Amino acid sequence: MGERHLPENEYRNAFEIDRDRIIHSTAFRRLQGKTQVYVTGQSDQYRTRLTHSIEVAQIGRSIVNYLNRSSELLTADYQIDSALVEAACLAHDLGNPPIGHKGESRLNELMDEWGGFEGNAQSLRILTDIVRGDRRYYSNAGMQATRACLDSILKYKIVGKQYTENGAKFLYPDQQDIISWVHQDPALDDLVQSGTQVRPIECAIMDLSDDIAYTTSDLFDGVKQSLLTTEQVERFWLDQYPQASQKIRADVDQVLRNQFPMSRFIAGLIGRWIYSISLISIEAPYLDVPRYKYGLEMAEESHSDLMALRSLNYNLIYNSDYVKIPESKGVEILEELFLYFRDVIFKKRDILEPLPLPAGISDDFDENQKMRMVCDFVAGMTDNHAIRLHSCLIA
């Protein structure tokens, strides 16, 4: 998307350039100060969005390496590109705001009148509008990402919040032209708008890598923060998730009783899950390119264990007071900052000197453009930066 001016002796392929531009972006660096599950600042032990994204990329790269070496469906004519998968994994959370998924949900509500807010759509906006420029001219459009790179981060492709069942998992209205450029086929645009999942193998690998990474790391961090007891977990298995395998129950119990190192448990789990992944052929691919001819399959036992640990996290960690209390306060801070900038835009209040409007907002912009830039500004903040700016509102 846009022209790249590369030297004749360029040492990287197109996807390696995508990956490198993502790594060197401001949006990627800011992930070090954004909540994964535990609001940053409570401890120095747990993951942030940055370390999570690095772990997703490592898992994605490992899945590619395993499939390229083991799958009989792949030949010398086509191998999955590890740099492309790595780029998608590193970029998948670029658009996430401060305070994790609760912050994302609240911003979506606050932006309802102006198209909503969605982390995946915001990641696409960062790559095409914000990083290295803007989209006023496609010759100078964001980081000039490849078609495959943009396609690989798009887990959701419905354009317009109003066309989704629950007002989530959508793209912004002005991103329709990007979807059309990615697909190169109006029939595919119509298909995804109806809710059909249309995505390449790299997106499937990124999505599964994300599931594996956050499930294992959130459990790891929860145990490190002493959020789980053997009694709690045993009650959960008995009362809420009796279908969990005896092996996963016994393994978690050993870890909680300090009879087996947590780090070795997680490492073994990730390795076992990767070995259980295989490629399947898609009989009627939506696009006649190799990237759309394959899907992923995970062995039933591994998938069952993944779902069991995900459910454990949701019920006993994400709903704990240790997570919910600071998360709730963080969402309040995010909302009050957003409302301040909204009121300044609508001239309902004066600008506070320490809190000017985001740079680049012009009087020539319409209301939607101004509010989208306000949303960009608030969503781009780290947790601590939002807290510091908020202190100016209450000083």
Identify whether residues 23 and 164 lie together within a single domain: yes
Task: Name which of 141-145, 158-162, 380-384 the model is least confident about.
Answer: 141-145
**What residue type is 312 in one-letter code?**
L
Q: How many domains does the chain have?
A: 3
- Residues 160 and 189 reside in one and the same domain: yes
What confidence score (pLDDT) does residue 138 get? 41
Residue after which a domain boundary falls, among 162, 193, 224: 193
Instruction: Output the DSSP codes for 48-91.
Output: BHHHHHHHHHHHHHHHHHHHHHH-TT-BTTB---HHHHHHHHHH
Quote the pLDDT of residue 137. 44
Q: How confident is the model at residue 6 (pLDDT cuts 50, 70, 90)?
A: confident
In the prediction, which pLDDT does 362 show?
A: 80
pLDDT in tens, 249-258: 999 999 999 9
Here the CATH number for the domain that contains residue 172 is: 1.10.3210.10
Domain end marker among 279, 298, 321: 321
- For 222, the 3-state DSSP assignment is helix
Predicted TM-score (pTM) of this structure: 0.93
Question: What is the structure's pLDDT at 141?
Answer: 57
64 CB contacts (<8 Å, ≥6 apart)? 80, 81, 82, 85, 205
**Domain housing 274:** 201-321
Same domain, 297 and 247: yes
**pLDDT given at position 139:** 46
Burial class (CB in 10 A: 0-12, 13-18, 19+), 157: buried
* Bridge partner list, 297: 278
Q: Clarify whether residues 276 and 338 are in a common domain.
A: no
In a domain, 162, yes or no: yes
| pLDDT of the residue at 129 | 87
Q: Among residues 169, 193, 217, which one ends one of the domains?
A: 193
2 pLDDT higher than 80: no
Residue 294: pLDDT band by 50, 70, 90 thresholds?
very high
**Residue 3: inside a domain:** no
- The answer to whether residues 284 and 377 belong to one domain is no
Whether 286 has a pLDDT exceeding 80, the answer reads: yes
**111-120, 137-146, 372-381: which range is least confident on average?**
137-146
How much of the chain exceeds pLDDT 90, in percent? Answer: 78
Give SS3 for 234. Answer: helix
